[in-house]
Amino acid sequence: MSTAPENGFVVFDRVQKSYDGETLVVKDLNLSIGKGEFLTMLGPSGSGKTTCLMMLAGFETATHGEILLDGKPINNIPPHKRGIGMVFQNYALFPHMTVAENLAFPLEVRKLGKSEREAKVKRALEMVQMGDFGGRRPTQLSGGQQQRIALARALVFEPELVLMDEPLGALDKQLREHMQFEITNLAHSLGITTVYVTHDQTEALTMSDHVAVFDDGRIQQLAPPDLLYEKPENSFVAQFIGENNTLTGVVKEIREGRAIVQLDGGELIDAMPVNVSKAGERTKVSIRPERVEFNKDRLSPDALTLKAEVMEFIYMGDIFRTRLRVAGRDDFIIKTRNAPDQRRLKPGEMIEIGWLAEDCRALDA
Amino acid sequence: MSDASQAGPVLAADGTPLKKSLQRALRAQKLRALALIAPLLIFILVTFVGPIADMLFRSVENAIVSETLPRTVVALEDWDHEAGEAPSEDVYRMMTYDMVTAAELKTHTRLGSRLNYETTGISSMFRKTGRRVDDFGEEYTDQFVALNPAWEEPATWVALMAASTDPFAISPAAEQALPETASIYADFAKTIADTKGDSVTEEEPWHPVYLALYTDLIANPDAASAFSGESAALISAAAAAVPTFEVTTTKDLFVKADKGWTDPEVWGTIKAFTPEYTSGYFLASVDLKKSPDGIESLPEDRQIYMLLFKRTLFMSLMIMGSCVILGYPIAFLLANLPMRTSNLLMILVLLPFWTSLLVRTSAWKILLQQQGVINDILVWIGLVDDADRLVMINNQFGTIVAMTHILLPFMILPLYSVMKTIPPYYVRAAKSLGATNWVAFWRVYFPQSVPGIGAGCILVFILAIGYYITPELVGGTTGTFISNRIAYHISSSLNWGLAAALGTILLAVVLILYWVYDKIVGIDNVSLG
Ligand SMILES: Nc1ncnc2c1ncn2[C@@H]1O[C@H](COP(=O)(O)OP(=O)(O)OP(=O)(O)O)[C@@H](O)[C@H]1O
Ligand SMILES: [Mg+2]
């Protein structure tokens, strides 16, 4: 999971954090972020994402461990000397300054000349397509506009590292998608290293080079979005990212990289052993709804199948979502593409379902 | 609801126009709202707004001169102060009539004190003259009685003057033939009825009534023709005799009572304060004086009010400034500490509210006096010599210290509540943008706390400018406020008009400052959180 520290631009090395001296909010965090990389921290509320960001920005100190920036430890450097751009969840645009003054602020404190300042502010405003808004007050801007100004302000002094804490949390869906695109574009075109915090998984998957899934003060998995989705390393990640069917059971045997799992109802299924190593272990198997197959012709002849009863058929336009009763549970979902030859299942119908063994992952119980 | 789509005004379900029925619905709501605030509104109007308006009205009200001296005021109209001479005998005679009535009613001393605010000495003149004025005209009484003892009889006078006795009414004939006598006799009748419950049928008239009779008969020797019977005979006999009467001028009588009555200045003052409304109190409040020759400033040694106003403003500003300087860091700490600690600190801030104002002020007395705790400590550590201990109380310094302490919570609370609403992420954002602690505070935090400073300053300043108890107790002579002077005029000198004028000016100053503040800072920039 953790790359060798010397390779990273930002490195968390065995970092721990406790606010009250009783519980650890961040437990043994190891993370390395390459230069120019877009890393997203994803996790449920209270999992310590903001805390990590604040430690990196210098507003909280790590209780234990070291944070390195460009190879140098920064634990003792005060926030204003770290040169890290930051976009806050609520933008934190100074309400008593105009947009242009907000943008000029970091340049002023760096004692840049007036003409240089103005040129940079203008460029930054144009970069976020807000060139005409310099004279306005933040309160006179819409949420999306404020967001862009906050972004421009974090970038105007050309930091090498930008931190963003749920910057799109307050925006509506459409604007959020638009801004996701703009942010990734900007970050990549400027070659800035970005640490992005969100608890919206779609946002994490669409924007990032790497996603770090946080839970309980630890990184549960650090991987590119596709691996994260397709190859979750534990059941928390599998359930947290995307829609997922979970079945519980016991490993019966592992052979040739394939595990036979006996479900609690006695049925046998094929799975790919990820977090299980020997027969007799309890496991949660995870299978994505779109990887379930009910057309016998498409399954390999020796594949194990399960009997299923169709409970509900939901037409969703591009896809069909069908709820089944499988192995005693009636929350098993399958998704099928709306293609001309696609069969539309009817409630009450009895079918048999199966999957490729590598799509079904036997994870920790 | 098809009718809504028809042309013309939109109708409600019962057919009345929608606008009207909306209004009716809202009226009920408004009445209900009014009913809710009515008790407080009435209470405030009756116990607060009314009395204050009445009080402020006193600053210009001046009916006392024209009410007490109605005849004199009319007679003085023709007198010209510029000539520098005392007025004519007529004025003195009218003054006699007015004065005797006033003296019987005991209103002359009030008028005396009122005019004394304008020209010193008048009060004692009125008092002295008031004691003697009922003897003015005694010679005439004697001469009329010598002529005919019937003049001593109340019944004679009643027959002559009265149309009816209960209630008393003057007869038209008397009014026509003997106008001055009728007028003073009417006053006499009313006065004895009011003060003693007596009737004219039992009381011998005042001496000045005989003076009036004499004057009328000299002016109108033919007065008897208006009367009939015994009265006519009496009058015609008297009219025949008066030219031979021994004459004393009322002016001499006045001068005998007090020499001041020859002074044109005194008469000028009476004339200047004839109008029912006066700017005199306001002029006095700014050390000016309305003299008969126009407005002039008081002699240097009697100018106190401007000094007091300036001092009040200066000290209020000092107190306000010290409150900002002392209160800001405390409010900052309160707003940024963890809840538990800040609650504890808050109790300390509020503690002064739970102790009596007098106790706190007296505590400062004990601390600051020359044999007090602070001086003792300074002497003990050798900073101050025992011989010349610091004077820290009964002067401006003491007042500023004590009042800063008392008013500090009024600065801290609005500051705190505003600071509490400034989210910590602004300062963090500033720091992440490269600002040092100081720059982040000064450029980002401070401007956002300005509304709190504004609210605190207004609160403290306005409270300070009208403060009374503390300056009274620890102010000595150099640390008193204008409010102490107002209190003095309300309760000791009883010059309520001046007190009202001073109060009105104070109110105006506050309003003007408020307006200036609004212009410069903007009242929207004041927030209590
Ligand atoms: N200043 C603080 N003092 C004490 N505890 C804190 C403080 N800030 C955060 N915590 C605790 O630390 C844990 C992690 O908080 P953090 O803000 O890092 O969560 P997060 O992952 O950012 O959550 P969210 O997605 O809701 O923003 C939480 O349990 C929170 O209660
Ligand atoms: Mg957070």
Average confidence (pLDDT) over A267-295: 88
Judge if A218 and A258 occupy the same domain.
no
Q: Whole-angstrom Cα distance, residue A216 to residue A357?
A: 30
> How much is the pLDDT for A153?
93
A23 CB near ligand 1 (under 6 Å) = no
Q: Is residue A59 within 8 angstroms of chain B, CB to CB?
A: yes
Ligand 1 atom 5 nearest Cα: A19
Choosing from A216, A235, A254, the residue where a domain stops is A235
Judge if B335 and B358 occupy the same domain.
yes
Radius of gyration (Cα) for chain B, nearest Å?
36
> How much is the pLDDT for B2?
45
Is position B401 within any domain?
yes
Average confidence (pLDDT) over B128-137: 90
**Number of the ligand closest to the Cα of A51:** 1
Retrieve residue A360's tokens. Answer: 């079904």
The answer to whether A247 and A259 have CB atoms below 8 angstroms apart is no
Average confidence (pLDDT) over B134-161: 89
Is position B290 within any domain?
no
The rounded Å distance from CA A326 to ligand 2 centre is: 38
The answer to whether B446 and B430 have CB atoms below 8 angstroms apart is no
Is position B314 within any domain?
yes
Q: Nearest residue of A to residue B525 by CA position?
A: A96
CA A161 centroid distance within chain: 19
Judge if B122 and B176 occupy the same domain.
yes
* Residue to substitute from A96, A146, A155, A161, interface B, most B β-carbons within 10 A: A96
pLDDT, tens only, A159-202: 999 999 988 877 788 888 888 998 899 899 989 999 999 888 88
Q: Which atom of ligand 1 is nearest to the CA of A26?
A: 14
Judge if A203 and A268 occupy the same domain.
no
Judge if B400 and B484 occupy the same domain.
yes
Q: Is residue A169 within 8 angstroms of chain B, CB to CB?
A: no
Q: Is residue A109 within 8 angstroms of chain B, CB to CB?
A: yes
Judge if A256 and A343 occupy the same domain.
yes
Choosing from A235, A268, A295, the residue where a domain stops is A235
Name the least confident of A113-122, A327-336, B325-334.
A327-336
A48 CB near ligand 1 (under 6 Å) = yes
Output the average pLDDT for chain B.
88
Judge if A185 and A163 occupy the same domain.
yes
Q: Is residue A337 within 8 angstroms of chain B, CB to CB?
A: no
The answer to whether A289 and A243 have CB atoms below 8 angstroms apart is yes
For chain B, the first-to-last Cα distance in angstroms comes to: 48
- Residues β-bridged to residue B297: B288
Query: How far A94 CA lies from chain B's nearest CA (Å)?
Result: 7
Split at pLDDT 50, 70, 90, the class of B527 is low
Judge if A312 and A333 occupy the same domain.
yes
A308: CB partners within 8 A, 6+ apart: A294, A324, A325, A326, A332, A350, A351, A352, A353
pLDDT, tens only, A68-99: 999 899 988 999 999 999 998 888 999 999 99
The rounded Å distance from CA A288 to ligand 1 centre is: 31
Judge if A226 and A259 occupy the same domain.
no
Judge if B173 and B104 occupy the same domain.
yes
Retrieve residue B480's tokens. Answer: 């008193």
Average confidence (pLDDT) over B508-514: 89
Q: Could you tell me which of B119, B498, B115 has the C-alpha nearest to residue B299?
A: B119
Percent of chain B exceeding pLDDT 90 equals: 38
Judge if A228 and A272 occupy the same domain.
no
| DSSP codes of every residue in B346-400 | HHHHHHHHHS-HHHHHHHHHHHHSTTSHHHHHHHHTTSS-STT----SSSHHHHH
Retrieve residue A282's tokens. Answer: 């309890």
Cα dist. B252→B72, B85, B255 in Å? Answer: 17, 15, 5
Instruction: Report CB contact under 8 Å: A96, B447.
Output: yes
Choosing from B193, B228, B262, the residue where a domain stops is B262
Q: Which residues of B501-517 are buried (b: 16+ CB within 10 A; e: fewer)?
A: bbbbbbeeebeebeeeb
The pLDDT of residue B99 is above 80 = yes
Q: Whole-angstrom Cα distance, residue B54 to residue B33?
A: 29
Choosing from A235, A260, A287, the residue where a domain stops is A235
Judge if A88 and A48 occupy the same domain.
yes
Amino acid at A68: L
Judge if A66 and A195 occupy the same domain.
yes
Q: Is the ipTM of this complex over 0.85?
A: no
Cβ contacts of B442 on chain A, cutoff 8 Å: none
Judge if B74 and B46 occupy the same domain.
no
Judge if A214 and A347 occupy the same domain.
no
A19 CB near ligand 1 (under 6 Å) = yes
Cα angle for residues A23, A26, A28 (degrees, 5° grid): 110
Higher pLDDT, B522 or A177: A177
User: Domain tally for chain B?
Assistant: 3
Judge if B9 and B79 occupy the same domain.
no
pTM over 0.80: no
Judge if B52 and B112 occupy the same domain.
no
* Residue to substitute from A55, A56, A80, A151, interface B, most B β-carbons within 10 A: A80
Cα dist. A352→A90, A258, A309, A313, A337 in Å? Answer: 50, 21, 8, 16, 18
Judge if B210 and B322 occupy the same domain.
no
Q: Is residue A84 within 8 angstroms of chain B, CB to CB?
A: yes
User: Domain tally for chain A?
Assistant: 2
E strands, B46-88, where? none
Cα dist. B419→B339, B344, B517 in Å? Answer: 14, 18, 21
Task: Choose among B426, B436, B448: nearest Cβ to A80.
Answer: B436
DSSP summary character for residue A342 = -
> How much is the pLDDT for A136?
93
Pairing state between β A218-223 and A268-273: unpaired
Residue in the block written with tokens 């990640």: A237
Ligand 1 atom 17 nearest Cα: A50
Beta-carbon count within 10 A of B20 CB? 12
Name the least confident of A271-280, B1-10, B464-473.
B1-10
pLDDT, tens only, B382-436: 888 888 888 888 899 999 999 999 999 999 999 999 999 999 899 999 999 999 9
Range of the domain at A189: 5-235
Is position B267 within any domain?
no
Instruction: Report CB contact under 8 Å: B432, A86.
Output: yes
Split at pLDDT 50, 70, 90, the class of A277 is confident
Cβ contacts of B440 on chain A, cutoff 8 Å: 80
In B197-228, which ranges are continuous DSSP H helix? Answer: 207-219
* Residue A354's CATH number: 2.40.50.100
Range of the domain at B209: 70-262
Q: Whole-angstrom Cα distance, residue B156 to residue B150?
A: 6
- Residues β-bridged to residue A212: A41, A222
Torsion from C-alpha of B498, B500, B502, B503, nearest 10 degrees: 160
Q: Is residue A57 within 8 angstroms of chain B, CB to CB?
A: yes
* Residue A114's CATH number: 3.40.50.300
> How much is the pLDDT for B16?
80
pLDDT, tens only, B218-230: 988 888 888 888 8
Q: Is residue B434 within 8 angstroms of chain A, CB to CB?
A: yes
> How much is the pLDDT for A100?
94
pLDDT, tens only, B62-96: 888 989 999 999 998 888 888 888 899 999 999 99
Output the average pLDDT for chain A.
89
The pLDDT of residue B529 is above 60 = no
Split at pLDDT 50, 70, 90, the class of B4 is very low
DSSP run (H or E) holding A50: helix A49-57
* Residue B352's CATH number: 1.10.3720.10
Choosing from B262, B280, B295, the residue where a domain stops is B262
Q: Whole-angstrom Cα distance, residue B37 to residue B31?
A: 10
Task: Choose among B423, B435, B444: nearest Cβ to A80.
Answer: B435
Ligand 1 atom 28 nearest Cα: A46
A32 CB near ligand 1 (under 6 Å) = no
B43: CB partners within 8 A, 6+ apart: none
